[in-house]
Amino acid sequence: MSPVISATVKPLAAMAVAIGLLAIGLAALGANPAVTLTALLSGAFGDWLAVADTLLKATPLVFTGLSVSLAFSGSIWNIGAEGQLLFGALAATACGIHLARWSHVAAISAVLGAGAIAGALAGALCGWLRTRFSVNEVISTIMLNFIALQAVSWAVHGPLMEPSHSYPISQKLPAAACMHWFFPPSRLNCGLLLAIGLAPACYFWLYRTNSGFELRAVGRNPRATAFFGIAAGPITVVAMALSGGLAGLGGAVQVCAITQRLFERFSPGWGYEAIAVALVARLNPLAVVPSALFFGALDNGAQVIQRTQGVSPVLVQAAQGLIIFVLLAFDTPILARGRSATLPHHKQPADA
Amino acid sequence: MQNLLEACAITKHFGATVALDAVDFSARAGEIHALLGQNGAGKTTLMNILAGHLRPDLGTVTLDGVAIKTASPQTALRAGIAAVHQSPMLFEHLSAVENLALGGFVRRGLALNEVAERAGAMARSLSFPVQLPPKNLTGLSLAQRMRLEILRALSFQPRVLMLDEPTGLLAPGELSGFLDLLRALRNRGCAVVFITHKLAEAMAVADRITMLRAGRVVDQTSPPQTTIEQLAALMLGNAVELARPKKSHRRGAEVLRLEGLSLEVDGVALVDEVSLRLHAGEILAIAGVDGNGQRELAEILACSRRPTSGQILLHGQPAGARAMGQIAVVPQNRDQEGLIPGMELWENLLLSPALRRQMQTAGVQRRSAAIALCSVLLKRFSIRARSPRQKAADLSGGHRQRLMIARALASRPAVLVAHDLTRGLDVSAAAEVSRIVREFADQGGAAIMISTDLDEVFGLGDRIAVISRGRLFEVPTANLTIERVGLLMAGVGQHR
């Protein structure tokens, strides 16, 4: 099987298997799988508003999915897209509420810039900690997720709290800092276009530039890159900054395009779902877009079947998790007949 | 005397290579049995089989006359066979005592503080100083790690203790104490198998000596019946007598000069005041047993490690970072350092800093140029690959080696440094890569071949030097004999 085909077939097969398992789960719970899955599908794509909603649900997943696939491509396990997204949303809100008198373009640029920078700083911090003090980035990024959560909570209870001080939400962003909705009542906006545009940019950086090459090489064989004088430290910090910046930008877009304000539980876990999105996309930035759409559709459909069929959306989340398991199973040597290129190469007996 | 451990007609293949060919070996209680041989002679493979890490293709291992059937480290340990590996196998993030507890102490259900006490007592009774840092092992020197591993092996109270090149990591002053430890263990009735390539150590401490060469036992003897010279000749074989350096090479201008290059780590000089001059058209072969500073020297020349002192001059000028691009290095360890098996062939070319610089415009890779270059190189060096887009892992070992050489030569370097150029290659592939290097030198390049293989050293080197304990000794062509090189490699008769 050619690599391109196997890279496409495996995720699709995994999705199919997971949906099959979801159907079994539905049947076990006494729901009619056919009816429920049809409802899920029409919830996600039934009419143009449903499609719009699916696209909107996918947008933050594209940003965070790109963030994760960039870092993972260098074997940097950034689990902190969630926190980086929240920092981005926080910075975007804090900046945006003061920009009432700015022009639309300038205000939007400033808000998005603030979000990206905040996320990049959070990411770069973890990259630097790994480089300088060998702090495992999995731990530092997860910890920073909690800090980000608390920071948002503190902000909406304190400095950013809306003027009447009765709700733990921020003040609404001024119109200048809010993205235009193209086709009300849908909230379709420029954010999705930005996200889709960033996918090829990420791909270009990873696969066409020297620094992207260095990141992938360091991730695959740090001993070889060290021998040839590629320093792992700087590229790790750069990759984490880019990764964090993408997630932060996703948070900023969410604020100025959809919610127009900040509140607690701002993210339903986009940063974590992004890991699934990136893995299903095989860390390929171009594939992140369809992968995010798939997960966005499931999220959207899950809400609909909860309303119409009384089926808990938790079941759909479980199915999303199953996809990863099925994908991993496809990669095990038994199923891949021992020719998986992702497995580390067996050391030749050096003293033979 | 009764044999305690006996291995009969052990044969082991790794793919097409025969690592061990019908090897007989035995160990007796109260004896130090030195197992000698060059790198690749099969010493470690034999130990791994005896310790249950590997299963022999043919042959039997018996302890006390009872065959050990299922080979696993657990059964070997339970039967009383313990091994100390060449590079210490310790748990980096556990404390020293915890590392010991994972040995034989825990089997007897001891608490951690008791483990520390027992280990301390054991170390004292053998007058064997060991440091037990309370946290993890960071900062512990390699020699101390080796001691820790020995202590852990002893905690199993083995009847047979096998040590694989244990002295390679010791500082010169620690050697006699270590040999005393081996004697103390022997006097307690332990069967000690001491694997080494250092002939003097074997002569000093062994009761019996078994010499392996290319997977076969070539001699069984004991120190009173032999001499270091005889052992050296045995170890190296006589194949090398055939090839001698060609003295008629055209020698051009000086290209590379190393002046007093040293690298110190933890107070040990891994590279010790290395100086040399290399001229265009010349191949300098550096012979030496692994672990004597070759790797570090190669790393310094590859610019991935900074020397503690000394300098490198290229064409008479101190070499800056940019000039160092003119030194292309083929690292020793193909798959761990030389290539990224999961990446495509053309991408592997770009690991070379010089090529990466050439194949880019403002940080963007000139991808099609790199792929085209790769195609050309595949053809020129007859590398068997379907296309430059293939993964490096799909090539055979010999062709991966060629790819590394092709990469090194593609940037038209002034100096080529190759470490273990022909390791793992069959005769014809080895001859082919040797020819490529010869051609490079004939066209005015200067090359340094670092090798443990004397065939390669004598076959390819215009000049020959030996590296031992980080020091480089050039052997004048006038008194260039196999014995002399062998003795220098074995660390005997080193004079400046």
Partner-chain contact A227 B350, CB within 8 Å: no
What percentage of chain A reaches a pLDDT higher than 70? 93
Q: Is B123 on the interface with A (CB under 8 A)?
A: no
**pLDDT exceeds cutoff 90 at B449:** yes
Residues of B in contact with A211 (CB under 8 A): 363
* Closest chain B residue to the Cα of A211, Cα to Cα: B363
pLDDT tens track for B116-135: 888 888 888 777 777 777 77
Q: Is B385 on the interface with A (CB under 8 A)?
A: no
User: Which of A237-276 are b and which e, b meaning 16 or more Cβ less than 10 Å from the residue's Cβ?
Assistant: bbbbbbbbbbbbbbbbbbbbbbbbbbbeebbeebbbbbbb
Alpha-carbon distance B119 to nearest alpha carbon in chain A (angstroms):
31
Kindly write down the DSSP assignment for every residue of B175-200, as one continuous string: HHHHHHHHHHHHHTT-EEEEEES-HH
Residue-averaged pLDDT of chain B: 84
For residues B15 and A60, the model is more confident at A60
Q: Is B187 on the interface with A (CB under 8 A)?
A: no
Partner-chain contact B351 A211, CB within 8 Å: no
Question: Which residue in B40, B299, B365 is closest to A352 by CB distance?
Answer: B40
In sequence order, which residues have a C-beta less than 8 Å from that of residue B319 and are 6 or more positions away? B311, B312, B313, B326, B327
Q: Is A223 on the interface with B (CB under 8 A)?
A: yes
SS3 B416: strand
Q: Is A133 on the interface with B (CB under 8 A)?
A: no
Q: Is A348 on the interface with B (CB under 8 A)?
A: yes
What percentage of chain A reaches a pLDDT higher than 90? 62
Preceding amide of A349 cis, omega within 30: no
Partner-chain contact A348 B353, CB within 8 Å: no
Q: Do the beta carbons of residue B146 and residue B170 sit within 8 Å?
A: yes
**pLDDT exceeds cutoff 80 at B192:** yes
Q: Determine the pLDDT at residue B209.
A: 93
Q: Determine the pLDDT at residue A342.
A: 35
Residues of B in contact with A350 (CB under 8 A): 333
- Greatest Cα-to-Cα distance within chain A, rounded to the nearest angstrom: 78
Alpha-carbon distance B458 to nearest alpha carbon in chain A (angstroms):
21
Pairing of strands B5-14, B17-27: antiparallel
Phi then psi for residue B101, to 5 deg, are: -60, -30
Q: Which region among B36-45, B388-397, B461-470 has the lowest average model confidence (pLDDT)?
A: B36-45
Alpha-carbon distance A331 to nearest alpha carbon in chain B (angstroms):
15
Across residues A181-191, what is the average pLDDT?
85
What span, in angstroms and rounded, lies between the C-alpha atoms of B19 and B13? 5
Most confident of A251-265, A311-325, B45-59, B228-242: A251-265
What span, in angstroms and rounded, lies between the C-alpha atoms of A102 and A176? 7
Site from A210, A342, A347 to mutate, B interface, most B CB atoms within 10 angstroms: A210
Alpha-carbon Rg of chain B, whole angstroms? 24
Partner-chain contact B343 A351, CB within 8 Å: no
List, in sequence order, every beta strand (DSSP E) within B214-308: 216-221, 254-265, 268-279, 283-287
What percentage of chain B reaches a pLDDT higher than 90? 30
Residues of B in contact with A220 (CB under 8 A): 340, 342-343
Q: What count of CB pairs under 8 Å joins A to B?
A: 88
What percentage of chain B reaches a pLDDT higher than 70? 90
At B241, the pLDDT band (50, 70, 90 cuts) reads very low
Q: Determine the pLDDT at residue B132.
A: 74
**pLDDT exceeds cutoff 60 at A346:** no
* Closest chain A residue to the Cα of B352, Cα to Cα: A228
Q: Determine the pLDDT at residue A18.
A: 83
Partner-chain contact A216 B353, CB within 8 Å: no
Residues of B in contact with A209 (CB under 8 A): 363-365
In sequence order, which residues have a C-beta less than 8 Å from that of residue B391 and are 6 or more positions away? A341, B341, B342, B343, B344, B345
* Closest chain B residue to the Cα of A216, Cα to Cα: B343
Partner-chain contact A225 B351, CB within 8 Å: yes
Place of tokens 């020091």: B471
Segments making up each domain of chain A, as ranges: 60-292
Q: Is A225 on the interface with B (CB under 8 A)?
A: yes
Question: Which residue in B40, B299, B342 is closest to A220 by CB distance?
Answer: B342
- Reported pTM: 0.74
Partner-chain contact B45 A210, CB within 8 Å: no
What span, in angstroms and rounded, lies between the C-alpha atoms of B36 and B21? 16
Question: Which residue in B19, B39, B347 is closest to A213 by CB distance?
Answer: B347
Question: Which two three-digit tokens encode residue B81?
Answer: 């066979």
Q: Which region among B70-74, B163-167, B176-180 has the lowest average model confidence (pLDDT)?
A: B70-74
Partner-chain contact B350 A213, CB within 8 Å: yes
Q: Do the beta carbons of residue B241 and residue B257 sit within 8 Å?
A: no
pLDDT tens track for B401-442: 889 999 999 989 999 999 988 776 666 677 788 888 988 998
Question: Which two three-digit tokens encode residue B425?
Answer: 């290659």
Query: What residues pair up with B191 in beta bridges, in sequence order?
Result: B31, B160
Phi then psi for residue A180, to 5 deg, are: -75, 140
Q: Determine the pLDDT at residue B169.
A: 62
Q: Determine the pLDDT at residue B243.
A: 45
pLDDT tens track for B293-351: 888 999 999 888 889 999 999 998 888 777 778 899 999 887 788 999 899 999 999 99
pLDDT tens track for B147-175: 888 888 888 888 999 998 887 666 656 77
Partner-chain contact A228 B351, CB within 8 Å: yes
Q: Do the beta carbons of residue A118 and residue A90 sit within 8 Å?
A: yes
Q: Do the beta carbons of residue B196 and residue B167 sit within 8 Å?
A: yes
Q: Determine the pLDDT at residue B465.
A: 92
What span, in angstroms and rounded, lies between the C-alpha atoms of A64 and A56? 14
Q: Is B337 on the interface with A (CB under 8 A)?
A: yes
Q: Which region among A113-122, A217-226, B213-222, B241-250 has the lowest average model confidence (pLDDT)?
A: B241-250
Partner-chain contact A347 B335, CB within 8 Å: yes
- In single-letter form, the type of residue at position A169 comes to I
Alpha-carbon distance B457 to nearest alpha carbon in chain A (angstroms):
19
Alpha-carbon distance B40 to nearest alpha carbon in chain A (angstroms):
5
Q: Determine the pLDDT at residue A325.
A: 83
Q: Is the ipTM of this complex over 0.85?
A: no
- Greatest Cα-to-Cα distance within chain B, rounded to the nearest angstrom: 75
* Closest chain B residue to the Cα of A210, Cα to Cα: B363
Q: Determine the pLDDT at residue A1.
A: 47
Q: Is B83 on the interface with A (CB under 8 A)?
A: no
Q: Is A134 on the interface with B (CB under 8 A)?
A: no
Instruction: Give burial (CB, 10 Å; 0-12/13-18/19+) of A164.
Output: exposed
Q: Determine the pLDDT at residue B107.
A: 60
Place of tokens 């946290």: B135
Q: Is B412 on the interface with A (CB under 8 A)?
A: no
Q: Is B433 on the interface with A (CB under 8 A)?
A: no
Q: Is A227 on the interface with B (CB under 8 A)?
A: yes
* Closest chain B residue to the Cα of A219, Cα to Cα: B340
The CA–CA distances, whole Å, from A107 to A96, A99, A249 equal 7, 6, 14
Closest CA to B34 of B237, B169, B203, B167: B203
**pLDDT exceeds cutoff 90 at B279:** yes
Question: Which residue in B45, B303, B393 is closest to A229 by CB distance?
Answer: B303
Question: Which residue in B43, B331, B343 is closest to A217 by CB distance?
Answer: B343
Q: Is B470 on the interface with A (CB under 8 A)?
A: no
Q: Do the beta carbons of residue B408 and residue B437 sit within 8 Å?
A: no
Partner-chain contact A224 B340, CB within 8 Å: yes
pLDDT tens track for B371-399: 999 999 999 888 888 899 999 988 877 78
Question: Which two three-digit tokens encode residue A275?
Answer: 């890991």
First and final C-alpha spacing in chain A: 34
Residues of B in contact with A223 (CB under 8 A): 333, 336-337
Q: Do the beta carbons of residue B281 and residue B446 sit within 8 Å?
A: yes
**pLDDT exceeds cutoff 50 at A292:** yes
Partner-chain contact A227 B45, CB within 8 Å: no
For residues B107 and B219, the model is more confident at B219
**pLDDT exceeds cutoff 90 at B17:** no
Partner-chain contact A345 B393, CB within 8 Å: yes
Kindly write down the DSSP assignment for every residue of A97-120, as one continuous string: TT-TTS-HHHHHHHHHHHHHHHHH
SS3 B391: strand
What is the CB neighbour count within 10 angstroms for residue A48?
A: 11
Query: What residues pair up with B367 in beta bridges, in sequence order?
Result: none
At A252, the pLDDT band (50, 70, 90 cuts) reads very high
Q: Determine the pLDDT at residue A306.
A: 85
Question: Which residue in B40, B353, B424 is closest to A229 by CB distance?
Answer: B353
pLDDT tens track for A150-182: 999 999 998 999 888 889 999 999 999 998 888
Partner-chain contact B338 A341, CB within 8 Å: no
Q: Is A224 on the interface with B (CB under 8 A)?
A: yes
